[in-house]
Amino acid sequence: MAKTGVFDSDPTVMEKVAELKKELMKLVNSIVQNENCSIETIDQAQDTLNALKELQLSKKSISLKLKDCPLEFRCPISKELMKDPVVVATGQTYDRPFIQNWLKAGNRTCPRTKQVLSHTVLTANNVMRELITKWCKSQGIELADPVQYINELGVTEDDRERFLSLLKSMSSTISEQKEAAKELRSLTKKMPSFRALFGESVDAIPQLLSPLNQIESHPDLQEDVITTLLNLSIHDNNKKLVAETPEVITLVMEALKSGTVETRSNAAAALFTLSALDSNKVLIGKSGALKPLIDLIEEGHPLAMNDVASAIFSLCLIHENKARAAHDGAVRVIVKKIIDGVYVDELLAILAMLSSHRRAVEEMGELGAVPALLRIIRQSTCGRIKENSIAILYTICFNDRTKWKEIREEEKENATISKLARDGTSRAKRKASGILERLSRAVNLTHTA
């Protein structure tokens, strides 16, 4: 009986069986429907039937043999003979597809020992593979050569080895650190699979940060490490891991203060992407990262402004960070920039966010925000800018009665609020109408008095 390559042949055998049955049906139909069918056709049908019989007997024989295979050759999960044995962090061996499904389901323990896995890297168990191969040969079963493993993200074993090698180089000489950091930056930018690899081990990010004490004195190394962190944070499954790794936020904060313009911009972008999680917003806010972000706004470098403004806006979506931003001088810096006409759209969005914090609102009024906002509403053609301006103005005026005089004079001279109540966005119309109603009540009260 011919050997059968079981492990890559399950689907192939099924296809072969289907093929033989199809061929047999065609031949039988020809024999039944054709009274003068040839002897050759009958012989072909007989040969096909014999091949089908042999294949079925072979499958049955192999199935019986597999049931008698040694227990150590069976996967603890599937209870079947292992096709591609791999070792997990605890030293236990499993069949690759089954342990992969276990990990993919979100499990981070060893199915057999119940221990928490320190990493999820799967290492080929070549010794076990050789033992299984020898046993299969002794049973007349052909074990097919394993195809190079590629996971669903496209990571090969070679990729994985390269990844581990680069991380190891981050603890080597400064020249090797720089070379490895540059390559990790490139790989994590181009390949989502390399970003995912960092999530497989709790040691990967600390290894990336190995040259921590040398980073500031080597701007190119700092830029590559910070940009790699940015690339990693784009991957949703990494956000929590990156933010909660000790030294990451500290390193990013130092980069905001002392890095090149590109490094500072990428550091701000990293905080923005990490802040997609509310738990990270809290962590970043408590770290004191808002202050260097606000300082960057004050510096006003055009290459960094967009990323910095996005980071501050995202962080201030939670109330405690609004208080921190106000305490760290955000209102003063932002109002001045708006008055100067710098990044008005982005900074108005932050100011509108901060306007739900009472102290921030008071400071806006004190810093001369009202005339600046009225001018912006009057001159701008952007609906979003007008909307944020009137929203801020509404909050200031309803918190500080002394500002109604400026509003009244603006309305009398330019009808700025009335025009917005008529032509603005739906939100802008509501805020503008609210201000006009308040003005109307004030006038009526004056006449009555």
What's 367's domain CATH number? Answer: 1.25.10.10
Claim to verify: residue 33 and residue 79 sit in the same structural domain: no
- The answer to whether position 200 is within a domain reads yes
Q: What is the mean pLDDT of residues 377-383?
A: 94
In a domain, 195, yes or no: yes
Q: Rounded to whole angstroms, how far apart are CA atoms 23 and 15? A: 12
Q: Looking at the domain assignment, is residue 147 inside a domain?
A: no
Residue 348 sits in the same domain as residue 366: yes
Is 98 in the same domain as 227?
no
Per-residue DSSP letter, 156: B
Q: How far apart are CA 62 and CA 135, in angstroms?
A: 13
- Per the CB < 8 A criterion, the answer to whether 75 and 95 are in contact is yes
Q: Are residues 179 and 304 in the same domain?
A: yes
Residue 14 pLDDT greater than 60, yes or no: no
pLDDT at 142: 66
Average pLDDT, the chain: 85
pLDDT band with cut points at 50, 70 and 90 for residue 17: low
- Are both 78 and 59 inside the same structural domain? no
Give the helix/strand (H/E) hosting 243: helix 239-244
In this model, does residue 281 exceed pLDDT 50? yes
Distance CA 409, CA 428 (A): 20
- CATH of residue 132's domain is 3.30.40.10
Residues 400 and 343 grouped into a single domain: yes
Residues 369, 420: Cα–Cα separation, whole Å: 18
Residue 152 lies in a domain: no
pLDDT given for residue 326 in this prediction:
95
User: What is the domain extent for residue 18?
Assistant: 11-67
Same-domain pairing of 260 and 119 = no
Stretch among 13-22, 28-37, 110-119, 400-409 having the lowest mean pLDDT: 13-22
320 domain-assigned = no
Could you tell me which residue, 253 or 25, shows the higher pLDDT? 253
Q: Which is nearest to 87 in space by CA: 52, 127, 115?
A: 127
Residue 106 in this model has a pLDDT that exceeds 50: yes
**Confidence band (pLDDT; 50, 70, 90) for 49?**
confident
**Number of domains comprising the chain:** 4
pLDDT-above-90 percentage for the chain = 53
Residue 165 sits in the same domain as residue 278: yes
Please give the residue that has the higher pLDDT: either 262 or 119: 262
List, for residues 310-344, the tens digit of each pLDDT value: 999 999 999 999 999 999 999 999 999 999 999 99
Last residue of a domain, one of 86, 109, 139: 139
Q: What is the DSSP string of 81-138?
A: B-SSEEE-TTS-EEEHHHHHHHHHTT--B-TTT-PBPSB---EE-HHHHHHHHHHHHH
28 with 131, same domain? no
Structure tokens at 409: 């004079």
- For tokens 């990493």, the residue is 119
Q: What is the pLDDT of residues 64-99, one digit of tens each?
A: 445 667 888 888 998 888 888 999 989 999 988 888
pLDDT band at 155 (very low <50, low <70, confident <90, very high): low
Provide the pLDDT for residue 148.
44
Q: SS3 for 78?
A: coil
Q: Is residue 2 part of a domain?
A: no
Output the pLDDT for position 66: 54
Taking residues 165-178, report their average pLDDT.
94
Predicted local confidence at residue 12, as pLDDT: 47
139-153, 280-294, 360-374: least confidently modelled range: 139-153
Q: For residues 63 and 92, state if they share a domain.
A: no
Residue with tokens 């999820």: 120
How much is the average pLDDT of 107-124? 83
Whether 346 maps to a domain, the answer reads: yes
Predicted local distance difference test score (pLDDT) of residue 391? 95
What percentage of the chain carries pLDDT values higher than 70? 86
187 and 303 both lie in a single domain = yes
Cα gap 426→415, rounded to integer Å: 18
Structure tokens at 448: 């009555």
The 10s digit of each residue's pLDDT in 385-444 is: 999 999 999 999 888 888 889 999 999 999 999 999 999 999 999 999 999 998 887 655
Do 338 and 421 sit in the same domain of this protein?
Answer: yes
Asked whether residue 54 carries a pLDDT value surpassing 70, the answer given is no
